Amino acid sequence: MPAPHHVVIAAFPGIELLDVTGPAELFSVASRVAGADRPGYRVRIATADGGPVASSGGVRLLADLAFAEVAPAGPADPVDTLLVAGAIELADGGRVEPVVDRPLVDWLRTVSPRTRRIGSVCAGAHLLAAAGLLDGRPATTHWLTADRLAADHPGVRVDPDPIFVRDGSVWTCAGVTSGMDMALAMVAENHGPELALATARMMVMYVKRPGGQSQFSVPLSVPADVDDPIDEVRRWIADHLTAELSLDVLAARTHLSARHFTRLFRQRTGTTPAAYVEAARLEAARRLLADGSRSLPEVAAASGLGSVETLHRVFRRRLGTTPAEYRRRF
């Protein structure tokens, strides 16, 4: 039987449970799907002293080994993948604070050179950054703590939008469940897309959540309020992307003047009606490019962007790439 890929997930008190168990379960299912003729995954949980830790929800995790026992100097049991779980706390005023466990940060500086692939789940990116492992690299984290990551570590190129980001052997991902998307991409890197697809089917996962997909959709980027006329317009936009969505048309749906509607819309969403419509149409175009084989004119028409020229212009301005390149990547 081929030797399995050795995966270690580092945990500490207060971690988000799914940051650990989500990737662990995905690697376990991938091993079963791979069968005996291909290397599966051996997953172990490591803590500072090798003892159990309580998650943020109170569920206790039993560790398999202590940090000091990970990645021995010899080649007998090398660590292929090291994942760092994250934790957040609510501070005064409802602020969300990432937890930075200092013993884990110190250990990461020691163990990372002996690890082929390292990744963080959710706010675990703050631990990688504190250990200096994200300096000069692009990275993402949970959107709630992305601004904090950028402020605390100006040398990190923080992008709060993607589900996950890979830069060479260093991976970072967004909030909780995106750890499973990142783990699935790691399976695809090890074994190819067919095994990743079979694993996703076994877990009833949506396999096509690429790293470039937004952490949340445009309609979900602002909390919903069913009694708010601006929210009614936002829902109508999502259902009518190919319709005429000019300022006058949208304002008329709320029986407000264009000027008053624009002011309320900006207060509610933080952006203008025109920018919101363009973002919603761009999201639809990204989904169509990643999920199907429609031609660029068809994508432009179905997303409401209208022409291939507009499609290219919006992709270049907002994403810094072309529709064709986006399709090749995702």
Owner of token pair 């507009």:
310
| pLDDT higher at 91 or 280 | 280
CA dist., res. 235 & res. 227, Å (int): 12
279-288: pLDDT as tens digits: 999 989 988 8
Segment 174-181 shows an average pLDDT of: 89
Owner of token pair 């703050």:
126
Let me know how many helices (H) and strands (E) the chain has, helices first.
13, 13
- Has residue 73 got a pLDDT over 50? no
Query: Per mean pLDDT, which of 166-170, 223-227, 229-233 is the most reliable?
Result: 166-170
Q: In what order do the strands lie in the sheet with 164-167?
A: 65-66, 41-47, 5-10, 79-84, 115-120, 170-173, 164-167
Tell which residue, 10, 26, 11, 59, has the closest CA to residue 202: 26
Tokens in use for 5? 């890929």
The pLDDT of residue 74: 44
CA dist., res. 289 & res. 293, Å (int): 7
Torsion of CA 315, 318, 319, 320, to 10 degrees: 80
| pLDDT higher at 123 or 162 | 123
Tell which residue, 282, 271, 291, 290, has the closest CA to residue 310: 282
7-42: pLDDT as tens digits: 999 999 999 999 999 999 999 999 999 998 899 999
Give the list of residues 6+ apart from residue 49 with CB closer than 8 angstroms, or none: 66
Domains detected in the chain: 5-202 (3.40.50.880), 218-329 (1.10.10.60)
